[in-house]
A and B are shown apart, each in its own frame.
Chain A
């Protein structure tokens, strides 16, 4: 009697274990479908693209040398036109150091609100908007754009995509006129310089 009960118990446990395995297998198969269903151009792909730009911007900040008087206090990076980029970059780079300066981020969605910063990243392909911002920013601000070409943007750094790869262009002439010094590695690895 006791043995029978034990056998029944064991069989039930085995059945439950087997059912659990089947559930696991179904879970595996469903998880594949779910990962696609949620996949999208989704946040991860967008985040990867933003991260690439962030890494470059951090290198711009580190490899461009500002005139002496701008090397004290915080190192301010302004983001114009995309809150998601601001959120991601500020969470990754706030308080990282550029020389002895701690990085701080500011977000702007209106050109007239833009405050002085060391580096301003404008996420807007509209030439008129970039031009308006360019005219209003302070002398110590390096403008980073993502326009079709560097010359028409009037910025010092410009992101472009070449054969699926993110590249940057530098207007070294303009930078030097404004008193900035640019590290050789930065110019050497640029897609183009003028």
Chain B
């Protein structure tokens, strides 16, 4: 915490120092800076619009937007207590972006990036805390803000690791939403898309392959157990069975892939045996069931 305070102190001092050298004549801007220096961020913010109105040339001033960013940033941090509802955060971001756009000499670049980085991390924290079946849409918005800001602040930022985690978590949320309302089939489609998103980045991702394999198998079973009426006509039975077999068939390559990666994972072997059972391939079912039994015995002996 102490080092964060030191950084903010240095930022604060540097902003003030720059203010003395960079100001053009604009009394409202001077007032704005005074309010800012005295820590009266609310009044300082009120002057932002006044400055734009009275000194229109400030709209093209990188320093002015840099200060605006700091004012809004402080309101977000200190007055709004980092609330996700704070409008000041969004205004801080847009002010930084304007400043960066106008800052041809890159005079304020480093400080602008520092603000963006802190704001990005704030978005990430809110993304995590909103990641549930009720607030997930808001959570996605925060995640997108986080990614957009991180891309601006850190060239070496490894977006793919975050994307993988994000898609896996979203898939879990969508699956949960589907279990809460099993008529909402679109959630399962979204869960599948989320896992496919992971595999488009990392085709060997263990979790996505495993979950997609299980998901397709469960969908096949659910097609029969939940969608097929007990008094369905024969034509409907045939269509439903075709749909279920299609899901079972889709499930197998994903589970086989993770089996190659981790042949001692009991759950995967058991899952493959289950898929073969559902596909009525008795020979393969018995083969994998025996492998599963051997693994289970070996593991219990090791314990």
List the A side residues contacting B279 at CB < 8 Å. 164
Secondary structure class of chain B's binding surface, majority of residues: helix
Give the residues in chain B near A32, CB-CB below 8 Å.
Answer: 172, 207, 210-211, 214
The reply to whether the CB of A151 lies closer than 8 angstroms to some CB of chain B is no
Query: When the two chains form the complex, which single residue of B169, B231, B242, B273 contacts A25, counting CB atoms closer than 8 Å?
Result: B169
Asked if residues B176 and A28 are in contact (CB atoms below 8 Å), the reply is yes
Which B residues touch A55, using CB under 8 A? 228, 230-232, 237
Q: Which of B132, B221, B235, B242 contacts A189 (CB 8 A)?
A: B235
Closest Cβ neighbor of A93 among chain B residues: B230
Known: A29-B172, A41-B285, A45-B274. A56 touches B214 (CB 8 A): no
User: Does B298 sit at the interface, judged by CB under 8 A?
Assistant: no
Q: Which residues on A sit within 8 Å (CB–CB) of B281? A: 164
Looking at A46-54, A73-81, A134-142, the stretch in contact with chain B turns out to be: A46-54
Q: For A59, give its contact among B81, B129, B132, B234 (CB under 8 Å).
A: B234
Q: List, in ascending order, chain B residues with CB within 8 A of A51's CB.
A: 224-225, 228, 230
Given A21-B131, A51-B230, A165-B242, A28:B172 Cβ within 8 A: yes
Q: Which residues of A contact B289 (CB under 8 A)?
A: 41
| A24 to B139 CA separation, bound complex (whole angstroms) | 15
Task: Tell me if A18 and B274 are in contact (CB < 8 A).
Answer: no
What CA separation (Å) do A151 and B295 show in the bound complex?
41
Q: Hey, which chain B residues are within 8 Å of A8, CB to CB?
A: none
Min Cβ gap B247→A in Å is 11
Whether B224 pairs with A48 at a CB distance below 8 angstroms is yes
Taken together as a complex, chains A and B put the C-alpha atoms of A60 and B92 apart, in Å, by 71
Q: Mark B197-227, 1 if CB is under 8 A from A, else 0.
A: 0000000000100110010011011001100
CB within 8 Å of B: which residues of A?
A: 10, 17-18, 21, 24-25, 28-29, 31-33, 35-37, 39-42, 44-49, 51-52, 54-56, 58-59, 92-93, 96, 161, 164-166, 185-186, 189
Across the A-B interface, give the 10 residue pairs with the lowest CB-CB distance, nearest first.
Answer: A36-B267, A48-B224, A28-B172, A161-B280, A41-B277, A164-B279, A41-B274, A48-B221, A44-B221, A92-B230
Chain B contacts to A: CB under 8 angstroms: 81, 128-129, 131-132, 169, 172-173, 176, 207, 210-211, 214, 217-218, 220-221, 224-225, 228, 230-235, 237-238, 241-242, 244-245, 248-249, 266-268, 270-271, 273-274, 277-281, 285, 289
A36-B214, A39-B271, A164-B245 provided; 6 other pairs, C-beta below 8 A? A32-B207, A36-B270, A42-B274, A51-B228, A92-B230, A166-B241
Cross-chain pairs A/B with CB under 8 angstroms, 20 sampled: A18-B128, A21-B128, A25-B128, A25-B169, A28-B176, A29-B172, A32-B214, A36-B214, A40-B270, A41-B273, A44-B225, A45-B274, A48-B220, A51-B224, A52-B224, A56-B234, A93-B230, A164-B281, A165-B241, A165-B242
